[in-house]
Structure 1
Amino acid sequence: MSMLVLKLFLAPALVVASSLAGRRWGPTLAGTLVALPIVAGPILFITTLEHGEVFAARAASASLLGLVSLALFAVVFAQLSRRPGTGQWAVTLLLSWLLCLLADLALARLVVPAVLALGVSFAATASGARVLGRTGTEVGPSRAVTPPPWWDLPARAAATALLVTALTTAAAHLGPDLTGVLAPFPIGTSVVAGFTLAQGGAPLAGATLRGVLRGLWGFAAFCFLVSVLVEPLGAVPAFTIAVIGTLALQLALSRLGAATAARALAAEAALGARTGS
């Protein structure tokens, strides 16, 4: 019963929390929060409890490769949502899912050390961020965002619970490599990005997905720490350290980004003052 409660409530509650944060502080923050391991973390933790530390270590290592597909999903979804004829959320989501799933199936065939997989995930995240950074300013103004219907948050929670339960239930048949690669499958990201596109349009969806890529650095750190710590330390200590490390890295990156933006604004202001004089 306790395992079923974890499957049905932990990840959905985290997705709902990130959605509420997005309404309060904007879509980019919502994307960053949902890109943290709020869905894959519970999947890997439940997998550890059900199948043991050895299975979980291999799955967590494979999850690092799954982040490559997640970065691909973010780029493809953002690009498709901007094109005439593909802006409808269902079409955009299905096509993005298809490409992500094909990439996952290909990546599941690879067995690489966790350190190498970490480097590959970082490279994919950086590449995706560059692509969306170049195209983000080209998106036209979004349509007015209507208040979400009453069923919005329950639907997000239900979609997340369904997908998490399906993957964790099938883990024994899929094996650690495919389970791990599929763990970062854009479950929470799909829910948040799909609803954002349907309710707010392509610009808000693009901002959300740029936030997703910003959150993948911490996601990768989480998977790496679980992969190397879960066998020697056990589930609870390993996941605790991984969560702390993830939050610390995201906080450091957030402060670095804020400092960089402040320096850029100061330099622009100084240039404007010199030009005006």
Structure 2
Amino acid sequence: MLALKLTLVPSFLLAVSMSGKWWGPAIAGWLAGLPVVAGPILYLLVLQHGPSFGARAATLSLAAILASEAFNFGYAWTCRAASWRVALAVGLVAWFASASALALLPVSAAAAASSASPAWALAAAALGVGFGNAFLPRSHAVASGAPLARIDLFGRMLAGVVLTLTVTALSGRLGASWSGLLAVFPLMATVLSVSSHRAHGPEFVIALLRGMVAGRFSFGAFCLFLSFALTREPVLAAFAQAVALAVVVQGLTKCLTKGLTKGLTKGLTKGPTKALAKRLTKEPTERLAKPGVTTKPAARQACAAVPQASNGSRANASD
């Protein structure tokens, strides 16, 4: 069990971090949206406390999407006017305040057997996604393509170990609610925000945090499925199906987002430009084709000069 705690989450973090170097940023971004941190922690909680405990923890992990977006909101709106330390403090305060409110949700063992708890959690998750999409600041910054430093990679893996050991060690005292909430502690968001803020500035961080909103759907599908399946199916089968569902949802989200962005970009650039060019070329032709439309004096003089020059040339030739 200890070996799993020390290696499971860091291994996933290492794979996601190195995937950008191996297969490019598109694959790395796609993998980063999967539950690479909360998934292994929930699996360890099930092994340690049983499927019922894990189902309740998964329900709160689903609701914790709202707390994660609260962290992003606090950090994003603060980083433009303050240092990364102040922005991080504001983000963490926002996360703990939201998590404390979510811990009051009815997630008892009896409620977990019904659909009441997942319904509350799903509503909280939907509120978080809508809130983040509507109220996070906007930025058009793009990634600079800088390679991941070894110290940053080591920091991510170490943070993953610390979070895993903390949640699993205190899960008996904290209960399923706080264990599920802490499993979705914004570990990656914290590490990425701080390192990106220091290296690239606040606009890059804002673009990064807004990009995380699209990844919430696959994570939500993963947790929602586990909240139902853990008490009805074998543990490995439930997690395997949840992972497969998360991969499918993540792929669909990426395709839909890419298609929507491409369509909007094409419509905003090609459509008006094409219409304007057509109008600019069509209107002068129509004006000249209409009877009674006269040209400007300068144009008439230029046209009259052509025959005169031609007549002069003929006269010179005859002489």
Give the structure-1-normalised TM-score: 0.87
Q: Is the 8 A contact 1:219 1:246 kept in 2?
A: yes
**8 Å Cα contact 2:30-2:250 kept in structure 1:** no
Q: Which moved more, 1:145-154 or 1:207-216?
A: 145-154
Structure 1 CA distance for aligned equivalents of residues 134 and 24 of structure 2: 23
Secondary structure in 1 matching 2:105: coil
In structure 1, the residue matched to 2:77 is 79
Aligned residues: 267
Report the alpha carbon displacement of residue 25 of structure 1 after superposing the two structures with TM: 4.7
* Cα pair distance change 1:90/1:35, threshold 3 Å: farther
Equivalents in 2 of 1:32, 1:73: separation in Å?
Answer: 21
Aligned CA distance change for structure 1 residues 199 and 58 (closer, same or farther; 3 Å): same
Contact 2:35 2:219 in 1 (8 A): yes
Q: Which residue of 2 aligns with 1:151?
A: 151
User: Letter of the aligned partner of 2:197 in structure 1?
Assistant: L
Asked if 1:128 corresponds to 2:129, the answer is no
Matching residue of 1:210: 210
1:210-233 CA distances to partner (integer Å, 9 max, x unpaired)? 222111111111110001001110
Q: Hey, what does 2:17 align to over in structure 1?
A: 19
1:113 is matched with which residue?
117
Distance 1:31 1:100, change over 3 A: farther
Name the CA distance, whole Å, in 2 between partners of 1:104 and 1:119: 15
Deviation at 1:52, TM superposition (A): 0.1
Task: Report how far residue 209 of structure 1 moved.
Answer: 1.2
* Kept after mapping to 2: 8 A contact 1:29/1:208: no
Q: Which residue of 2 aligns with 1:192?
A: 192
Aligned to 1:169: 169
For residues 74 and 131 of structure 1, what CA distance do their matches in structure 2 show?
Answer: 10
Q: Which runs of 5+ in 2 are unaligned?
A: 107-115, 279-319
Distance 1:31 1:201 in 2: 20
User: 2: distance between equivalents of 1:245 and 1:95?
Assistant: 34
Cα shift at 1:145: 7.8
Q: Contact (CA 8 Å) 2:42, 2:58: kept in 1 or not? A: yes
Percent identical among aligned pairs is 29
Q: Provide the C-alpha distance between the structure 2 equivalents of 1:118 and 1:170, rounded to a whole number of angstroms.
A: 26
CA, structure 1 residues 262+226, in 2 after alignment: closer, same or farther (shift >3 Å)?
Answer: same
TM-score, normalised with respect to structure 2: 0.76
Give the Cα–Cα distance (whole angstroms) in 2 for the partners of residues 34 and 4 of structure 1.
Answer: 25
Asked if residue 93 in structure 1 is aligned to residue 88 in structure 2, the reply is yes
Name the CA distance, whole Å, in 1 between partners of 2:14 and 2:75: 21
Across the aligned residues of Structure 1 and Structure 2, the Cα RMSD in angstroms comes to 2.3
Taking the aligned partners of 2:165 and 2:24, their CA distance within structure 1 comes to: 30
How far apart are the structure 2 equivalents of 1:145 and 1:244?
Answer: 30
Structure 1 unaligned residues grouped into runs of 5+: none
